[in-house]
Amino acid sequence: MSRHDRQDLMPGSVIEFFDAKEITVGVCLAVKGQRLTVLSMTNREINLAGSRVLHVGESLLDVSKLTRDEMVQRLQSIDRLRKDLMGRTDVEELWSLLEGQEEAFSAQDCAEFIFSDNITGDHVAAAQRSLLQDRLFFQHRDGTFFPRASEKVQQRKDEIQKEEERVARLEESANWLQSLWTRRTKVLGVQEAHGELITDLQQFCMHGQEAPSYSHLKEVFKKANIPPLQQSAFRILVRLGVWDEDENLLLHALDISKHFPEELERKAKELNSLPLSLPEHSHRRRDLRDLHAITIDSAQTRDIDDALSARRLSSGHYEIGVHIADAAEYVVKGDDLDEEAQARTTSIYLPDAKIPMLPSSLSEGICSLHSGVDRLAISFLMQVDEGGNILGHEICQSVIHIKERLTYEQVNGRVFEDATLGLLHRFALAQREQRTARGAINLPLPEIQVRVLPSGMIQLSRHEKETPSQLMVSEWMIVANGLAAAHLAKLGIPSLYRGQGECRPERDFVQSDHEIFHIYRQRRLFARAELDTQPHAHCSLGMEPYTTVSSPIRRYADLVVQRQLKSALKEEAWPYTEEELRQIIMQLGTVQSKVFTMQRKWTRYWMLKYMEQEDIQSFNALVLDQNGRFAHLLLVDYLMETNLPVQEGMELQRGSLIKVQVERLNPREDILRVQLA
């Protein structure tokens, strides 16, 4: 009887149906509409839809007379008989007999082909079981079976083999991950056989559910009884030694390498070993080696791209010099070094690593303005009067010789005693006042510097931006950048000009005794600075036009501007057309946005690690804003923002200082939850 002939279903009918993906035998105890109450051969009473019945036997069991145990024994006996009959079933032989037939065959038809003895319901059920278990030769549709064409059988063989291999790999991968998950120590050496799985784990850590192999990996984790989370994959990779506990996944996700290709390292070292051939450059370079040029940087800086000088002229005026490393002399547009620099767009400074835009043999070698050696530069020489007004200027290619390398701290200690430093500071203040008169808005935020020592200890230091050393460096770089922009704009040369729209004033004024609160609020009203090929005003700096050329070792945009400027000084054709510059602007915008986000997140990671390391439990926090769910806070000692859940009726005054304490801290997951202390 086929599964379609169920009009005779009644109490006592012996049926077959799928239970947990296995065909099982049962007896119908009751029929109510389309639902059956069935006792299975495993002594389970099941409420079953009639549509799930696969086969109905010819004989009935007397459910009114037989005990439950007797019925179960009879069902098990029927199951054993049908399994014995299945042993006599050769599905491939049946297929070879029927292959090429386009008609459908019922289980009854197939039983008649398979068995030579009298056909009973048990024979039909056994034939149907065998055909339903077959994945290769027959296609099951609406209770009938179609023999597949030979090419379809071969296709199915290939599919089944691939599936079996996949299941085997799944089993192997799950067993391996389970063994790693339960270990308490690191694994020495990674088995090559699991290289693909390790790559999948890395991709999952970086991209989560967007990872290409997420579905497969989720299946592996489930089979290994491991939570299918990115943290799980990260824990396994750390245990394998593939990554360490402080691995920067953001770098991996952006595909930023700390290392340069060998051929570029080799080329950079060759350039660095070249002697400085002064006769070759003498016809177009000013020899400024007699100037008392100094550099001002942090003690850790090795890639120094700017220097300052100051001297009194015979006229009674003064000359202020800003000297920028001539990186364009060594990195040629379009060569391999240049393409790598453009791809990187900027040097990246992280608490635990520095990733330079140029190989260190260049950025910390011949391009860097080290003291005691001759270096090529682009110099901005300004004639300044006693009031700090710039009376005239000259931009030239030069050769300089740095006389002193100073740190910010050293300059701060000597600025009021050293004549050169005194001039630089006094006239920098004058430049600041002139910019302010032009509408510049100075909103300095302290900088929290995070540094990870080789020992793993984390150091935090706070640097104020308005110290004498910081002020003189920033002001003179702004002046030099403005002069470069004005020179290019006057000649009509397209470049990477930097502009900023109107700086809107704060209208929703909030009373607060904390200056940093107003600085944060005002900064949020500023338009973002944008690059363009044509000059624009820069609102917050009070400069028109403006560009950046002062860091060609560290920023690709500055290197491009330096090339345009050098072509103007030499009266040569511009290296870049306007269309090329527009393409560079698009590429820089995409990459720099990702890099800056990565720097911010990774610095935050190490700040959270510092809080964990020092067991910091409470913070002073400024209330920046509040909505119905959260108060947005600034942790003033760390300049880190976080949210505080607000309870019903809780009102926090914007601009007020409150005390909060740590509720949960997890640096790897970027979690800092706080509550009112």
pLDDT, tens digit (0-9, with 9 covering 90-100), for 455-490: 999 999 998 888 999 999 999 999 999 999 999 999
Is a pLDDT exceeding 90 seen at residue 550? yes
Question: Do 395 and 492 have their domain in common?
Answer: yes
pLDDT of residue 281: 47
Q: Determine the Cα–Cα distance for residues 175 and 591; give it in Å rounded to an integer.
A: 40
Would residue 611 count as lying in a domain?
no
Question: Do 590 and 468 have their domain in common?
Answer: yes
User: 511 or 61: which carries more pLDDT confidence?
Assistant: 61
Would residue 342 count as lying in a domain?
yes
Question: Do 564 and 427 have their domain in common?
Answer: yes
Q: Are 427 and 384 in contact (CB under 8 A)?
A: yes
Torsional class of 403: left (φ above 0), alpha (ψ -120 to 50), beta (otherwise): alpha
Would residue 7 count as lying in a domain?
no
User: In percent, how much of the chain has pLDDT > 70?
Assistant: 97
Would residue 513 count as lying in a domain?
yes
Would residue 250 count as lying in a domain?
no
pLDDT of residue 425: 97
Per this entry, what is the length of the chain?
A: 677
pLDDT, tens digit (0-9, with 9 covering 90-100), for 190-201: 567 788 999 999
Q: What token pair was written down for 374?
A: 């001759």
Torsional class of 384: left (φ above 0), alpha (ψ -120 to 50), beta (otherwise): beta
Q: Are 601 and 671 in contact (CB under 8 A)?
A: no
**Most confident of the following: 106-120, 201-215, 227-241, 545-559:** 545-559
- Which of 602, 625, 652 finishes a domain? 602
Q: Determine the Cα–Cα distance for residues 252 and 255; give it in Å rounded to an integer.
A: 5
- Which of 119, 148, 177 finishes a domain? 148
pLDDT, tens digit (0-9, with 9 covering 90-100), for 199-217: 999 999 999 999 999 999 9
- Which of 245, 279, 311 finishes a domain? 245
Question: Do 566 and 490 have their domain in common?
Answer: yes
Question: Do 560 and 636 have their domain in common?
Answer: no
User: Would you give the distance in Å from CA 638 to the centre of its chain?
Assistant: 24
Average pLDDT on 57-83 reads 94
What residue has token string 């502009």?
499
Count of structural domains within the chain: 4
pLDDT of residue 283: 57
pLDDT of residue 34: 87
Choose the weakest-confidence range: 370-384, 549-563, 615-629: 615-629
Q: Which neighbouring-strand residues pair with 610?
A: none
Is a pLDDT exceeding 60 seen at residue 156? yes
Would residue 609 count as lying in a domain?
no
Question: Do 173 and 135 have their domain in common?
Answer: no
Mean pLDDT of all residues belonging to the chain: 92
Question: Do 544 and 627 have their domain in common?
Answer: no
Burial class (CB in 10 A: 0-12, 13-18, 19+), 664: exposed
pLDDT of residue 189: 59
CA-to-CA dists, residue 675 to 179, 630, 663, angstroms: 39, 11, 6
Is a pLDDT exceeding 70 seen at residue 178? yes
What is the DSSP code (8-state) at residue 329? G
pLDDT of residue 143: 87
User: 179 or 397: which carries more pLDDT confidence?
Assistant: 397
Residue 175 structural domain: 160-245
Is a pLDDT exceeding 60 seen at residue 360? yes
Question: Do 593 and 623 have their domain in common?
Answer: no
pLDDT, tens digit (0-9, with 9 covering 90-100), for 423-435: 999 999 999 999 9
What is the DSSP code (8-state) at residue 669? T
Q: In what helix (H) or strand (E) does residue 240 lie, and over which residues does it extend?
A: helix 230-240
Q: Determine the Cα–Cα distance for residues 426 and 419; give it in Å rounded to an integer.
A: 10
Average pLDDT on 603-619 reads 95
Question: Do 522 and 433 have their domain in common?
Answer: yes
pLDDT of residue 203: 94
Would residue 4 count as lying in a domain?
no
Would residue 560 count as lying in a domain?
yes
Which are the contacts of 89, defined by CB distance < 8 A and separation ≥ 6? 114, 126, 127, 130
Question: Do 587 and 653 have their domain in common?
Answer: no
User: 657 or 185: which carries more pLDDT confidence?
Assistant: 657
Question: Do 567 and 624 have their domain in common?
Answer: no
pLDDT, tens digit (0-9, with 9 covering 90-100), for 131-154: 999 989 999 988 899 999 999 999
Query: Which among 398, 404, 397 has a CA at the least distance from the CA of 372?
Result: 404
pLDDT of residue 4: 41
pLDDT of residue 233: 95
pLDDT, tens digit (0-9, with 9 covering 90-100), for 101-113: 889 999 999 999 9
Question: Do 114 and 68 have their domain in common?
Answer: yes
